[in-house]
Amino acid sequence: MKKFITTIQNIFKIEDLRKRIVYTLLLLLVYRLGSFVVLPGIDPMQLNNLQSQASSGLLGLLNIFSGGAFGNASVFALGIMPYISASIVIQLLGMMVPYFQRLQREGESGRRKMNQWTRYLTIAILAFQGPAYMANLHAQLPQQAFLVSGFSYNIFATVILIAGTMFVMWLGERITDRGIGNGISLIITVGIVARLPFAFLAEAGSRLNDTVGGPLMLIVELVLLMLVFAVTIALVQGTRRIPVQYAKRIVGNKQYGGVRQYIPLKINAAGVMPIIFAQALMFIPLLFAGFDAGQGIAATLSDHRGFWYNFIYAILVVVFTYFYTAVTVNPNMMAEEMKKNSGFIPGVKPGRKTAEYLDSIMSRITFPGSVFLAIVAILPAFAMLFGINDQFAYFYGGTSLLIMVGVVLDTLQQIESHLLNRHYDGLMKTGRLKGRNG
């Protein structure tokens, strides 16, 4: 306890870190307040059917991602997922289209242009999702819930929904630039954490009302949740260390090198992005169906307990894990940097052979990491099959738990870096805190 109090005091002694944390909390508070602002022209007392629809199934997961804004018919109802979908498309174009490949090589200026294209594509996606969401509102809510109706009102509400998501995106970018942590990831995490108390109370209520072994089952569920939580942390932090020997160099009167260091290659170098991207793609059939699964393919791919939904979801997680690992880890660049610094891996020739060796090691450790990530991603479906409440089951692995663990570890790692740079103790008593990026 004393260590914790001392750490908090050290954090607030650093002016820049204090300002960043306060700035981040204020913007996150704005986001949470906005999720309760109902669209103009809708009676907030008539939202029971919509909230019931958003309490389970794939729409329940979408409601968790938006922090409850979807079920509240909020101005932020569409959340940040359209931006995530646009990011997927732009990054895939960066691998296939020469124009976007050039932008990726242009550094900061290219990154700004790609971000601008991502915004344009986000608006295009929202222009489709907005009317679909309004059609779903008209299907779920009684007519008296709409204080204003007609085609012009739907256009007006769609513009507000588009503006709401763009504002959330702007909040995320401001947090990334001037706050602490990744803004978009933090916004998703805050929405997930905000739904956890409601999910736990719903599960606790159902178990405590069960006269035969109900409280005992609740304890077992909590123990299993802690176990999955620990396994997820191990997945996020796991590394394979590659030894690198640096040759001796004499510059002036000083000697450099002659020591062995290690390159920590992450078992899950892609972090939580494969989960987020795969989940965004799994929402697409539901969006094309106007948020109503109905029958046919849309219903099959929206059944989060079904075999095909979880099978395709797991395959997408594996594919995006390899994709993001290829984007994040560049063996050729690592080999070139080692060569420039007179470093080599014992038993491996510098240059091309080193790059091939690193690439083979990454392929070997990425496969079990991606499979394990896919298993954790579909764990909620198994939890539901064992009778756990849908909302609470989402926290047994899956997108919710992985995002929370990864984002929290990354944010804490940034805070620890600020502390260590000012010669304060880190957040942990032994060793440095490891986030998704090592």
pLDDT in tens, 104-142: 778 778 888 888 999 999 999 899 888 888 888 888 888
**Could you give the CA distance from residue 212 to residue 273 in angstroms, rounded to a whole number?**
41
CATH code (residue 48) = 1.10.3370.10
244 and 171, same structural domain?
no
DSSP state, 39?
P
On whether the CB atoms of residues 171 and 183 are closer than 8 A, the answer is: yes
Total structural domains in the chain? 2
Domain extent, residue 62, equals 19-195
268 and 363, same domain (yes or no): yes
| Cα(219)–Cα(223) distance, integer angstroms | 6
Domain membership flag for residue 203 = no
In this structure, are 173 and 222 located in the same domain? no
Q: What is the pTM of this model?
A: 0.74
Do 49 and 151 lie in a common domain?
yes
Name the nearest CA neighbour of 382 among 314, 301, 295. Answer: 314
End of a domain among 195, 229, 248?
A: 195
**What is the full per-residue pLDDT of the chain (438 aa) written as tens digits?**
666 677 777 777 778 888 888 999 999 999 999 989 999 988 888 888 787 777 766 677 777 778 888 888 899 988 888 888 888 888 878 877 888 888 877 877 888 888 899 999 999 989 988 888 888 888 888 888 888 878 888 899 999 999 999 999 999 989 988 888 888 888 888 888 887 887 788 788 877 777 666 778 888 888 888 887 777 777 766 777 777 766 655 444 555 455 667 777 777 777 777 877 787 778 777 766 656 666 667 677 777 778 888 898 889 989 888 888 887 777 888 888 877 777 778 888 888 888 888 888 888 888 888 888 888 888 888 888 877 877 777 777 666 777 777 787 778 777 877 777 766 555 555 555 555 544
In the numeric block, which tokens belong to residue 41? 């022209």
- Per the domain annotation, does 221 fall within a domain? yes
The neighbour count for residue 316, using CB atoms within 10 Å, is 20
- Final residue before a domain boundary, out of 160, 195, 230: 195
pLDDT 10s digits, 138-188: 888 888 888 887 888 889 999 999 999 999 999 998 998 888 888 888 888
Dihedral (C-alpha) 391, 315, 233, 396: value to the nearest 10 degrees? 20
* Range list of H helices, 106-239: 108-140, 151-178, 183-208, 214-237
